[in-house]
A and B are shown apart, each in its own frame.
Chain A
Amino acid sequence: MTSQVSSPVEQTDDPEKRADDAQKARSRPDGETVVGGQLPPGEGGEKEVRRLDRVIIRFAGDSGDGMQLTGDRFTSETASFGNDLSTLPNFPAEIRAPAGTLPGVSSFQLHFADHDILTPGDAPNVLVAMNPAALKANIGDVPRGGEVIVNTDEFAKRAMAKVGYETSPLEDGSLDGYQVHPVPLTTLTIEALKEFGLSRKEAERSKNMFALGLLSWMYHRPTEGTESFLRSKFAKKPQIAEANIAAFRAGWNFGETTEDFAVSYEVAPAGSAFPTGTYRNISGNLALSYGLITASRQADLPLFLGSYPITPASDILHELSKHKNFGVRTFQAEDEIAGIGAALGAAFGGSLAVTTTSGPGVALKSETIGLAVSLELPLLIVDIQRGGPSTGLPTKTEQADLLQAMYGRNGEAPVPVVAPRTPADCFDAALEAARIALAYRTPVFLLSDGYLANGSEPWRIPDLDELPDLRVQFATAPNHTTEDGAEVFWPYKRDPKTLARPWAVPGTPGLEHRIGGIEKQDGTGNISYDPANHDFMVRTRQAKVDGVEVPDLAVDDPDGAQTLVLGWGSTYGPITAAVRRLRKEGLPIAQAHLRHVNPFPRNLGEVLGRYRKVVVPEMNLGQLATLIRARYLVDAHSYNQVNGMPFKAEQLASALKEAIND
């Protein structure tokens, strides 16, 4: 489970083992976690069952082949079975990219295990390739010895030529070294559905369910969930539901009967890796949505979302709009600016206000964020970062909005920044961002990204009584006595401890006041162009944000290392996996991960000073490193990747090793 702190016995991201997994599983028992050899035959009869400690599967096909759905279903089956898991959906920005082309390939990678894991895995053990494009685009990631299940029906000459295969890779020996399972998936699906009276085209569409059935058999996944899912998804088209279920079962039966699949695998539930509790699988955007609803309940304030659809943030708008019975108001605005404008208006009125977007939307919202800084009203700005600049890579991940969140406004406009580290952590991070916004009356950035948003992992469902109390007091009475003895309300008279100003919502008698983006006089809030007052207000707003209470940074350093790896946001999984590998090799390395990027934890400077070397891996060109170097005068070393994908643990491990040995 990726939200867990690393444990010294973690083995799964061990590089040699990963490469050899398939081999070992076939050859001999290997300790407690990898048990090869034959188990007693199951109900099916003679087929061999082997036990693995973990598997990485990648489903790949055309963007119209339903690979995301297939992956989601396999994930749900796996979650309900109790494995730890981590997923990586990867799809093009086009809704239906040209069929059969490399840019049109959509894939879904799932890593599941009988123990605590941190990443969706560097390289798949099993690739399901629905067409030549999917094979070509993905085979390079599969280590030799890996299993490749290919839909042979799609390997016609023309389809192969389209992606540059002059000869069939199924026949020309280029797949030697892989365990290839050629399966005529399309034909088998059509055959299985011939009694449903569907057109060929309709029947073909169920081939992803056939593939899912086959993989479900191979890995002993429970099937009830998928069947009931299909029944409810196609409730209005029962014939289609039944056809999909039939294809799903046919795939399962195919695995069980055909000789090509001689072995199936068991990956035991990961019970002992998890703290006790009730778990579910959850994606980052869903966890974030639930975090917002929960924050609204814990603050006892209605939730208002002003948003404009944008990838990869739209799911939050969709999700929140389903939960109106929680008093959630969702407003799909005419543009990004109106989305945050409406949210700010709702904040003025006493809602827990949120706007959700991605990088280009943040650019458009900048002026309103500045207004929120000046008005000192609570507001959450959720940025699900994607590749940039400009439209960039809408469906790919990146961490390159950090400096935009920090500084992307006119004037001195400090905004706290909170970053979740895993999909499930998006829940807690949303609560934390809400806490800061409400307690300090400030806009707060919540910086998630495409990897967290769409990836998923098990989540221990919290007890409601363990959730933080986020309630705040609205102002209800005058707070100042003038020289002539009159009781008045001063909208900018601050709480001396937090420096937060009072939140007086319309409808409160006697506290009528006006606020605006023009500089205002300390205390009264009246328009003021006084130079000394402006200097004071600028410093006060900065001091308020600098003074936000955040927990100290925890450092994981069991061996007294000289090198510290410091990350923030979604790189937590890959960094932690890399750190485990190094420690297993006997290389000491310390790890710390920032949730609060503004303000930094109070002890960060002291932590950085303890290490000879500080390495900062980021999916940008060194934005946190820039902040660290400027703030602490520490010679932080950047390690960067901006290819739209998360770091691979192995690559990160070797980069860190170099840094240690350097």
Chain B
Amino acid sequence: MTETASSLLSLVPKAEARQSMKDFKSDQEVRWCPGCGDYAILAAVQGFMPELGLAKENIVFVSGIGCSSRFPYYMNTYGMHSIHGRAPSIATGLAASRRDLSVWVVTGDGDALSIGGNHLIHALRRNVNLKILLFNNRIYGLTKGQYSPTSELGKVTKSTPMGSLDAPFNPVSLALGAEASFVARTVDSDRKHLTEVLRQAADHPGTALVEIYQNCNIFNDGAFEVLKDKQQAQEAVIRLEHGQPIRFGADGEKGVVRDPETGDLAIVAVTPENESRILVHDAHAASPTTAFALSRLTDPDTLHHTPIGVLRSVQRPVYDTLMADQLDSAIEQNGKGDLAALLAGGDTWTVVG
């Protein structure tokens, strides 16, 4: 059984009046470092929320620990700043028991992929109705600059003066491997793209994972410069749009094709001869294979050939809906619970005075 976005979103009450960005700003002073990429993401989210038109008392932001996880304090919705790595599990209990809520998780690369890796993958496989915003700055910020599970190999930090020894996760690849039904990537500084990705994520029934590349100007400044600098970005960024040929570079001179030998994807210079072979992006493909292959085009060191946009968006049963359905059918089959009958059970005896 699948369901449409509208059928799930319709469970969340609508706002009575028109909302503006201001409605979503809390009275708390924002305390990120000046210049942090988190400001841009906060502004984009606050700016996007009115578009959803949901009653803001029915919106909840849940976070873990880390710089990004301060996010809920700045949203004038319900919110919980929880403990390190556990936000997906807390949000799962909330979403599964309250289908009238729009539940968002804000997390970082350390929070989601290191200490909380287990909860993230299980939330994705269950397809709980959560929107997970993973701010990836490829560094530990709040603990002052240790390497993270997305840092490039050989990263020199306070805890790795001779370079880090472990290969990084690619969060998009990881999510696809964890049976995610919606996976996207965007960049903090591209508000338009970020907003469009949020729009699609909000519309998705089930767990949506949005990786947001976010600059930490204190401990990992410029980590995504290659994707932001207009000149370099042409080569580095592959913008994915459903139904469009996957082309990038100056004037779309490069494209992605499937290698007929291996089935893997390759990057080619587009020519009139091969133009018809350029892959058309299908975010709704039943199989995650191509989305995974796209995610592997990125060079983990240089970030060259980084696909951004919605890599995968497919419909499959939503955990909270299935849970609610089981409760309904239990009542259909057995009637509403009769406590006296339950307590009495089958074999009883009576003692008279």
Q: Which of A293, A370, A513 contacts B339 (CB 8 A)?
A: A293
Q: Are A506 and B334 in contact, with the CB atoms below 8 A?
A: no
Complex Cα gap A469–B178 (Å): 45
Complex Cα gap A274–B100 (Å): 49
Q: Which of B206-238 contact A (CB under 8 A)?
A: none
Complex Cα gap A277–B97 (Å): 37
Complex Cα gap A516–B73 (Å): 9
Q: Which of A76, A333, A335, A337 contacts B347 (CB 8 A)?
A: A76
Q: Interface code A307-339, partner B: CB below 8 Å = 1, 0 otherwise?
A: 000000000000000011111110101110110
Q: Which of A81, A279, A509 contacts B55 (CB 8 A)?
A: A509
Q: Which residue of A lies closest to B353 (CB)?
A: A276
Kindly state whether residue B1 has any CB partner on chain A within 8 Å.
no
**A142 CB, nearest partner CB in chain B, Å:** 29
Q: Are A278 and B349 in contact, with the CB atoms below 8 A?
A: yes
Q: How many A-B residue pairs have CB under 8 A?
A: 210
Complex Cα gap A147–B68 (Å): 71
Q: Which residues of B contact A371 (CB under 8 A)?
A: 82-83
**B236 CB, nearest partner CB in chain A, Å:** 36
Q: Interface code A238-266, partner B: CB below 8 Å = 1, 0 otherwise?
A: 00000000000000000000000000000
Kindly state whether residue A143 has any CB partner on chain B within 8 Å.
no
Q: Which residue of A lies closest to B347 (CB)?
A: A80
Size bracket of the B interface: 35 or more
Complex Cα gap A120–B100 (Å): 50
Q: Interface code A77-105, partner B: CB below 8 Å = 1, 0 otherwise?
A: 00111100000000000000000000000
Kindly state whether residue B78 has any CB partner on chain A within 8 Å.
yes
Kindly state whether residue A40 has any CB partner on chain B within 8 Å.
no
Q: Which residues of B contact A337 (CB under 8 A)?
A: 86, 89, 119
Complex Cα gap A297–B345 (Å): 17
Count how many chain A residues have C-beta atoms less than 8 Å from C-beta atoms of the other chain. 72
Complex Cα gap A232–B340 (Å): 23
Q: Are A327 and B337 in contact, with the CB atoms below 8 A?
A: yes
Q: Are A297 and B339 in contact, with the CB atoms below 8 A?
A: yes
Kindly state whether residue B311 has any CB partner on chain A within 8 Å.
no
Q: Interface code B115-152, partner A: CB below 8 Å = 1, 0 otherwise?
A: 00011001000000000000000000000000000000
Asked if A515 meets B93 with Cβ closer than 8 Å, knowing A277-B351, A338-B122, A507-B58, the reply is no
Q: Which of B90, B335, B343 contacts A342 (CB 8 A)?
A: B90
Q: Are A508 and B57 in contact, with the CB atoms below 8 A?
A: yes
Kindly state whether residue B62 has any CB partner on chain A within 8 Å.
yes
Please indicate which of the listed interface residues A282, A325, A327, A517 has the most CB atoms of chain B within 10 Å of its own CB: A325
Q: Which residues of A contact B336 (CB under 8 A)?
A: 325-326
Q: Which of A341, A375, A508, A526 contacts B28 (CB 8 A)?
A: A526
Asked if A507 meets B57 with Cβ closer than 8 Å, knowing A278-B348, A325-B331, A461-B348, the reply is yes
Asked if A341 meets B119 with Cβ closer than 8 Å, knowing A323-B337, A512-B77, the reply is yes
Q: Are B343 and A513 in contact, with the CB atoms below 8 A?
A: no
**B341 CB, nearest partner CB in chain A, Å:** 10
Q: Which of A345-365 contact B (CB under 8 A)?
A: 345-351, 353
Asked if A276 meets B352 with Cβ closer than 8 Å, knowing A324-B330, A329-B97, A334-B118, the reply is yes
Complex Cα gap A334–B335 (Å): 31
Q: Which residues of B contact A275 (CB under 8 A)?
A: 351
Q: Which of A331, A462, A506, A516 contacts B93 (CB 8 A)?
A: A331
Q: Are B89 and A341 in contact, with the CB atoms below 8 A?
A: yes
Kindly state whether residue B175 has any CB partner on chain A within 8 Å.
no
Kindly state whether residue B26 has any CB partner on chain A within 8 Å.
yes
Q: Are A346 and B122 in contact, with the CB atoms below 8 A?
A: no
**A638 CB, nearest partner CB in chain B, Å:** 36
Q: Which residues of B contact A81 (CB under 8 A)?
A: 349
Q: Interface code A497-533, partner B: CB below 8 Å = 1, 0 otherwise?
A: 0000000001111111111111000000011000000
Q: Which residues of A contact B57 (CB under 8 A)?
A: 506-512
**B165 CB, nearest partner CB in chain A, Å:** 27
Kindly state whether residue B79 has any CB partner on chain A within 8 Å.
yes
Kindly state whether residue A302 has any CB partner on chain B within 8 Å.
yes
Q: Are B343 and A462 in contact, with the CB atoms below 8 A?
A: yes
Q: Are A338 and B86 in contact, with the CB atoms below 8 A?
A: yes
Q: Are A342 and B337 in contact, with the CB atoms below 8 A?
A: no
Kindly state whether residue A464 has any CB partner on chain B within 8 Å.
yes
Kindly state whether residue B186 has any CB partner on chain A within 8 Å.
no
Q: Which residue of A lies closest to B102 (CB)?
A: A506
Q: Which of A278, A323, A349, A375 contacts B350 (CB 8 A)?
A: A278
Q: Which residues of A contact B274 (CB under 8 A)?
A: none
**B189 CB, nearest partner CB in chain A, Å:** 27
Q: Which residues of B contact A279 (CB under 8 A)?
A: 348-351
Q: Which residues of B contact A515 (CB under 8 A)?
A: 79-81
Q: Which residue of B lies closest to A302 (CB)?
A: B97
Q: Are A331 and B26 in contact, with the CB atoms below 8 A?
A: no
Q: Are B347 and A280 in contact, with the CB atoms below 8 A?
A: yes
**B71 CB, nearest partner CB in chain A, Å:** 10
Q: Are A280 and B86 in contact, with the CB atoms below 8 A?
A: no
Complex Cα gap A511–B79 (Å): 11
Asked if A345 meets B92 with Cβ closer than 8 Å, knowing A276-B351, A324-B330, the reply is yes
Kindly state whether residue A306 has any CB partner on chain B within 8 Å.
yes
**B14 CB, nearest partner CB in chain A, Å:** 12
Q: Which of B42-87 contact A (CB under 8 A)?
A: 55-60, 62, 65, 72-73, 75-83, 86
Q: Which residues of A contact B198 (CB under 8 A)?
A: none
Kindly state whether residue B293 has any CB partner on chain A within 8 Å.
no
Kindly state whether residue B101 has any CB partner on chain A within 8 Å.
yes
**B213 CB, nearest partner CB in chain A, Å:** 26
Complex Cα gap A275–B347 (Å): 18
Interface residues of B (CB under 8 A from A): 13, 26, 28, 55-60, 62, 65, 72-73, 75-83, 86, 88-98, 100-101, 118-119, 122, 323, 326-327, 330-331, 333-337, 339-340, 342-345, 347-353
Q: Kindly list 9 other residue pairs between chains A and B, CB separation below 8 angstroms, not including A507-B98, A517-B82.
A: A81-B349, A271-B352, A280-B345, A297-B339, A324-B330, A341-B86, A345-B97, A509-B57, A512-B77
Minimum-distance CB pairs A-B, first 3: A516-B81, A342-B93, A345-B93
Q: Can you pick out 5 interface pairs between chain A and chain B where the beta carbons lie within 8 Å of each other? A: A294-B339, A333-B89, A342-B93, A345-B97, A371-B83
